[in-house]
Chain A
Amino acid sequence: GAGVSQSPSNKVTEKGKDVELRCDPISGHTALYWYRQSLGQGLEFLIYFQGNSAPDKSGLPSDRFSAERTGGSVSTLTIQRTQQEDSAVYLCASSSRIEDTQYFGPGTRLTVL
């Protein structure tokens, strides 16, 4: 079946612009995670959604970062006023239940000039 998909695959933007990154989880998966992979910080957790519960935003690095999940499916990660240190690969993962395996998408490579 279809895996986790993310779009765009690559995004180049100018410093100060806003960007939106999209994640389509595996159908029926109730848990959705965002991670960031960068040279300086490695792989780090950003935010987590589980069903209709309030999201766990504990990993968001600043208030410029936000995410929403509409209808319990698609999620959008928004970065406002992008900075060069936001350059990274943003990975999305989903799982059928909290304790189940997380399946990762291919990621969105964000480059902030």
Chain B
Amino acid sequence: AQSVTQLDSQVPVFEEAPVELRCNYSSSVSVYLFWYVQYPNQGLQLLLKYLSGSTLVKGINGFEAEFNKSQTSFHLRKPSVHISDTAEYFCAVSEGLTGGGNKLTFGTGTQLKVEL
């Protein structure tokens, strides 16, 4: 079985400051890793994903994440946040094809609040 831990339920940050949202996972097999963003009253939108290859993944809206296999982490970063980044962020993992489908296991989410 796989699981995802997002240690911070809320992260307040000032506009133009850098931010890191933490994600750790556990799995007995190789995994695919994802970050999704959910704006109020909207569905989930993919920010970025790691399937294989380079461990530094760049996504939309200036976000990036680094896969660290030894630490089983996939932290999300942005060097300078904007008010419009205020949203809830979900880290997710799947076992891909080895898991018989790409069903996602989500973390509990991190609410990013960007303040002026």
For B102, give its contact among A42, A102, A104 (CB under 8 Å).
A102
* A56-B100 contact, Cβ under 8 Å, with A99-B32, A104-B44: yes
The reply to whether B97 and A45 contact each other, CB–CB distance below 8 Å, is no
Q: Tell me, in angstroms, the Cα distance from A42 to B36 when the chains sit together.
A: 14
The reply to whether A33 and B103 contact each other, CB–CB distance below 8 Å, is yes
Bin the interface of chain A by size.
Answer: 20 to 34
The reply to whether A99 and B106 contact each other, CB–CB distance below 8 Å, is no
For B42, give its contact among A44, A95, A101, A106 (CB under 8 Å).
A106
Q: How far is the CB of B49 from chain A (nearest CB, A)?
A: 7
Which A residues are CB-close (under 8 A) to B46? 101-103
Q: How many residues of B contact A (CB 8 A)?
A: 23
For A95, give its contact among B36, B92, B102, B108 (CB under 8 Å).
B102
Q: Tell me, in angstroms, the Cα distance from A75 to B106 when the chains sit together.
A: 22
For A99, give its contact among B92, B97, B103, B105 (CB under 8 Å).
B97
A25 in the interface (beta carbon within 8 A): no
Q: How far is the CB of B7 from chain A (nearest CB, A)?
A: 14
List the B residue with the shortest CB-CB distance to A95: B102
Binding site for B on A (CB under 8 A): 4, 31, 33, 35, 42-45, 48, 50, 56, 59, 91, 93, 95, 98-107
